[in-house]
Structure 1
């Protein structure tokens, strides 16, 4: 398993199998819940000409009794990756009942819409503008009150569209990305299962463009010669690249995501949120990709969608519902299920506990120690609904393949909030390599519950020459009970990621006196 391509061949079997199941479930579940969608009162199915005349399959829901004598705020909903056009019908009906015109459309390249999958490229953003044009021409939509929203892929398209189109006054972007590269290539490490799920679902339900096929092939095959091209491709599709235009346009932006999102991790959303200058709100909840808002797509009560409705009510209708006076950063703890409000992201985890990583530890690469981040879409959903995060027996982790440091037991609850950071010195026997850091909550019997993790890959290092690693773990909100320890574990293999460890490679983690190693854990101030 030392060569990344061999790792890919081995791991891809499981990833593609999971894709076939998950992709089918994602694609068909909303259709099943919609039952006979054509029988839903007030729903009209239409074809909209997108960019270049590409046909976009869409549905329109208008308020009951709308007769053209007045206009209503309009909300445009691009579908999620691999989802059919009925995805948002339950929410569209609720919004229409509340006085909105709602137009949902199948993103180009998927299902019955024409064109190819462009991954929120220029044609997708142009499509969003064309859909707004259509809504203003064919529905009682108010041109001064245009909003966009979406889950996952729809979230990314909505943010990018708001950066390009001044007509969009409010956006709700759920489980999306602000920085595509920092999402599936964080730590310069390919997120294998995430890419496998997206790629497989795309092939199952749509038509990937030739460009996407080439980029995806270079990505999963670790074609470093094409790395810069892949990065530039991702930057063009990242709203953080167009931040100045988004801020200039002044749209009110609400961001929502899950702590354990294995496709678009929360860090990149939090960083982006801090850079927004207009009205803004950030909400993080337990779960994995799109699981925090999933029940709302089925028409069930859902906190995320409740916030989304309140956001639109205030910023499109002018309703004084108090959302503008609440703390704009709202976090739901993985441990207690309670909400906490903060004035901004930097106030989250304002206190810091540094755990020294003393001594020197050497590990052999290419062997999974048993510490890992779980399975894409599954493990963090289990944490959300059953409070069952990935676990590992810390005393039994094989020390030849895992470096382990543990803190002293704490006499009080440690409320981890925000982004833990690893600082260490690494010496490698090869010029390339991958390491994965894990932060665990360790109970009296040595069982560790995963608090957070993150990968890090390096290339072009001089063998035997020490170098510094600074790594942000994925942000979280987790309470470590009194009497428990915190443990940092570092190994070199995780099924979530592609590893770049040559055969026979070893990594040594040290703590030079002039530059001590540590993990910084952010804690909520009481």
Structure 2
């Protein structure tokens, strides 16, 4: 099973199918990063800069920064799914760059070429890393600022990357809009529903992360303890709840597009429902889209989802009041009789 779905990949947004005519026109060393130009037959060339950033405690985060054209523009951070890396988000990043955004992708701790232990979106680890990335964006001449040190920035991603978008909005007030997909609101409730241990899914998490030793010690100990007993304890629930968006639900006050899968036994629709209720209670605009796919398979509706995320950011990052963000609630029917 692949925890990285959906990747928001495929045909270009707004129905235009774009094919790359040329790639890797030139690669040179530029400061601490590698610069690459990628040409296309539809839109300006996308420039990508790869660099490794140190976020403290000896942890290195592998990043890519994508821009096209000139002038300042809003920024978007794209988070990958569990077991993936920044490379999974490259195509989406290039498309958003052509559509007028400065886009950053990164490999979370313990994945890709990034170092550090996997913390399941630890506020002091992965979430703090995102704030460091926002600090970096605030210093870039390509990025539009709301004020000094505060870039206009949105965050999107699926599954693990969707959760980091919610957590980033809860912990960093500089985040202006988010678009989480097929993700969790309360990880303890997702893995321990009614105190039933989802052993299969938990095992997939551990294996996708490269084994227990690649996780923070307290997470590894928690997994071994619960796997042996077959039932979660209060300490296990508390540990996962502390790393869940629900822990900072009252702080998430930015426009939120929630895309949740109908075929998902890992993060079912109830997670999205709780998410929407909490964020709406804070007074933020919230739209909900139930897609046909999910962690159990089905159609991820890639091109439609990508288009809707782009329109969401057009409305709330570019301030384009004519952007069609779609209905407040949408569901894709996968069968049935009228």
Match of 1:176 in 2: 183
Find the aligned partners of 2:268 and 2:73 in 1 and give their Cα distance: 35
Residue 331 of structure 1 corresponds to 331
Question: How far apart, in 1, do the equivalents of 2:296 and 2:115 lie?
Answer: 25
Query: 1:330 Cα deviation (Å)?
Result: 0.9
**1:178 to partner: Cα distance:** 0.8
In 2 relative to 1, CA 138–327 (structure 1 residues): closer, same or farther, beyond 3 Å?
Answer: closer
Is the CA contact (8 Å cut-off) linking 1:111 and 1:205 kept in structure 2?
Answer: no
| Counterpart selection for 1:148 from 155, 177, 189 | 155
Query: Counterparts of 1:28-47 in structure 2 under 5 Å?
Result: 41=38, 42-47=47-52
Alpha-carbon deviation of 1:80? 1.6
2:229 to 205, 222, 234: 222
The count of aligned residue pairs is 297
Shift in Å, 1:84: 2.0
Residues 158 and 171 in structure 1, CA contact (< 8 A), matched pair in contact too: yes
Task: Name the counterpart of 1:132.
Answer: 134
Relative to structure 1, is the Cα distance of residues 290 and 46 closer, same or farther in structure 2, using a 3 angstrom cutoff?
farther
Deviation (angstroms), 1:293:
7.8
Instruction: Extract unaligned runs of 5+ from structure 2.
Output: 10-19, 28-35, 39-46, 147-151
Distance (Å, rounded) in 2 between the aligned partners of 1:202 and 1:61? 27
SS in 1 for 2:194: helix
The C-alpha deviation readout for 1:343-400, integer Å capped at 9, x for no partner, is xxxxxxxxxxxxxxxxxxxxxxxxxxxxxxxxxxxxxxxxxxxxxxxxxxxxxxxxxx
SS of the equivalent of 2:229 reads coil
- Between the aligned partners of 1:115 and 1:195, the Cα distance in structure 2 is 20
Question: How far did 1:275 drift?
Answer: 2.2
* Larger Rg, first or second structure (1 or 2): 1
Q: CA deviation at 1:129?
A: 0.1
Query: TM-score, normalised on structure 1?
Result: 0.53
Assess if the C-alpha contact under 8 Å between 1:256 and 1:284 holds in 2: yes
2:262 touches 2:268 (CA, 8 Å); kept in 1? Answer: yes
Aligned to 1:211: 218
Is the Cα–Cα contact under 8 Å of residues 292 and 301 in structure 2 kept in the other structure?
Answer: no
**Deviation of the 1:72 alpha carbon:** 0.9
1:237-386 aligned at under 5 Å gives the runs 237-246=243-252, 250-277=253-280, 278-289=284-295, 296=302, 302-323=303-324, 326-335=326-335
- In the aligned structure 1, how far is the partner of 2:215 from the partner of 2:188? 19
Partner of 1:471: none
Residues 290 and 48 (structure 1), Cα distance of their counterparts in 2 relative to 1, 3 Å cut: farther
Say if 2:166 is the partner of 1:159. yes
Q: Structure 2 vs 1, CA of residues 160 and 196 (structure 1 numbering), >3 Å: closer, same or farther?
A: same
Q: Which has the higher strand share?
A: 1
Q: Which residue of 1 aligns with 2:43?
A: none
Offset at residue 234 of structure 1 (A): 1.3
Does the 8 A contact of 2:311 with 2:324 survive in 1?
Answer: yes
Instruction: Give the C-alpha shift of residue 158 in structure 1.
Output: 1.1
Deviation sequence 1:485-512 (CA, Å, 0-9, x none): xxxxxxxxxxxxxxxxxxxxxxxxxxxx
Residue of structure 1 in register with 2:109 after alignment: 108
Query: Match of 1:494?
Result: none
Whether the aligned pair in 2 keeps the contact of 1:286 and 1:332 (CA below 8 Å) is yes
